[in-house]
Amino acid sequence: MNKKSKATRVNRWGYIFLIPFFLTYVIFQIVPLCSTIYNSLFENFRSGLKQIGPNFVGFANFAKLFGTIDFWNYFENTLLMWVGGFIPQIVVSLLLAYWFSDPSLRLKFQQFFKTVIYMPNLIMASAFAMLFFALFADQGPVNSILLSLGLIKEPFKFFASVTASRALIMFMNFMMWFGNTTILLLAGMLGIDTELYEAAEVDGATSGQIFFRITLPILRPILLYVLITSLIGGLQMYDVPQILTNGKGTPAKTTLTVIMYLNQHLTSKNLGMGGALSVTMFIITGVLSIVIFNLNKKKD
């Protein structure tokens, strides 16, 4: 009896140690989430220096958000630029990780290569975007190099072309994340029991078969982890296109992401529309994580 109550007393510390986390989370996440949801039901913006609202309008903000095609356009932009960065990222990462982990290749300077390819991930996205903006400007160094090599006759306007602008953003996303993914996948590959490979070889499997039948299935949890984090990161895509296009999503709003759109509403102090957009994104992110988590569970 005495022993049990002592254990309970000690275990009270579990609650105490949880207080900082939950207190902070409630203040800085839950309360803002609630007021964001609350705001989404009101007309509330500023006209010049005059405040309009808040007037309760029910779901009118949501109706307005989905009533026009704009939101879906920006959602599509976001997904497209994410996919465009993610596919090369996963392909290249798989390849590099496979090579790094292949004992027969015995690659030297592994540490050097890993260090270099991970480096872009640490770079401030805003500085990286500003750098690319300067480098790919009409009169910038990239055009200057291409001109002097005779590859083009006049400066190519990267930021006036839909394809080039989107491709640059995809490329930057790829650059910033492929090193990170390579190292994650490599850790997974190194964890695979080598006996499996040896057994497969004895059975006469080719290296392609080994890769697709053994390596990939075993890597599935890690691949899913990479997919989830990348998708959720992708939906939040903001820094790079925001700075590259100065918040406008030029050309023709084809690089405008959902969060940039949200930022425009926040800048206009349009709390109603901003709230509706935030709630929508909250639901989409939530549903996506649940779907992917369950998918993962079922197959296990």
Residues from 38 through 57 that contact another protein (CB under 8 A): 39, 45-49, 52
CB closer to another protein out of 34 and 83: 34
Burial tier of 177 (Cβ tally within 10 Å: 0-12, 13-18, 19+)? buried
Can you tell me whether residue 12 is helix, strand or coil?
A: helix
Distances (CA, A) of 178 to 116, 263, 264: 11, 28, 30
CA-CA-CA-CA dihedral for 49, 69, 275, 80, to nearest 10: -120
Cα–Cα distance, 177 to 185 (Å, whole number): 12
CB closer to another protein out of 170 and 281: 281
Cα–Cα distance, 222 to 127 (Å, whole number): 30
Residue 90 CB, nearest distance to another protein (Å)?
14
Neighbours of 60 (CB within 10 A): 18
Asked whether position 281 contacts another protein by CB under 8 A, the answer is yes
Q: Pick out residues in 8-27 that bind another protein (CB under 8 A).
A: 10-27
* Closest residue by Cα to residue 185 from 217, 222, 214: 222
Q: x/- contact string, 59-78, with another protein (CB under 8 A)?
A: -----------x--------
Measure the N-to-C terminal CA separation of the chain; round to a whole number of Å.
Answer: 43
Asked whether position 275 contacts another protein by CB under 8 A, the answer is yes
For the chain, the residue count is 300
Q: How many residues of this chain interact with another protein, rule: CB under 8 A?
A: 135
Q: Which of 63, 87, 152, 160 is in the footprint of another protein by CB under 8 A? A: 160
Residue 184 CB, nearest distance to another protein (Å)?
5
Q: Pick out residues in 94-113 that bind another protein (CB under 8 A).
A: 95-96, 99, 103-107, 111-113
Per-residue tokens: 242: 């925001």
* Closest residue by Cα to residue 272 from 49, 31, 58: 58
CB closer to another protein out of 58 and 204: 204
CB closer to another protein out of 1 and 122: 122
Residue 299 CB, nearest distance to another protein (Å)?
16
Q: Which of 80, 147, 214, 227 is in the footprint of another protein by CB under 8 A? A: 147
CB closer to another protein out of 83 and 284: 284
Q: Which of 66, 75, 156, 225 is in the footprint of another protein by CB under 8 A? A: 225
Residue 83 CB, nearest distance to another protein (Å)?
18
Burial tier of 179 (Cβ tally within 10 Å: 0-12, 13-18, 19+)? buried
Can you tell me whether residue 51 is helix, strand or coil?
A: strand
Asked whether position 34 contacts another protein by CB under 8 A, the answer is yes
Q: Pick out residues in 227-266 that bind another protein (CB under 8 A).
A: 228, 232, 235-236, 238-239, 242-243, 246-248, 250-254, 259, 261-266
Asked whether position 270 contacts another protein by CB under 8 A, the answer is yes
- Backbone dihedral region of 34: left (phi > 0), alpha (psi from -120 to 50 degrees) or beta? alpha
Q: Pick out residues in 181-200 that bind another protein (CB under 8 A).
A: 183-184, 186-188, 191, 198
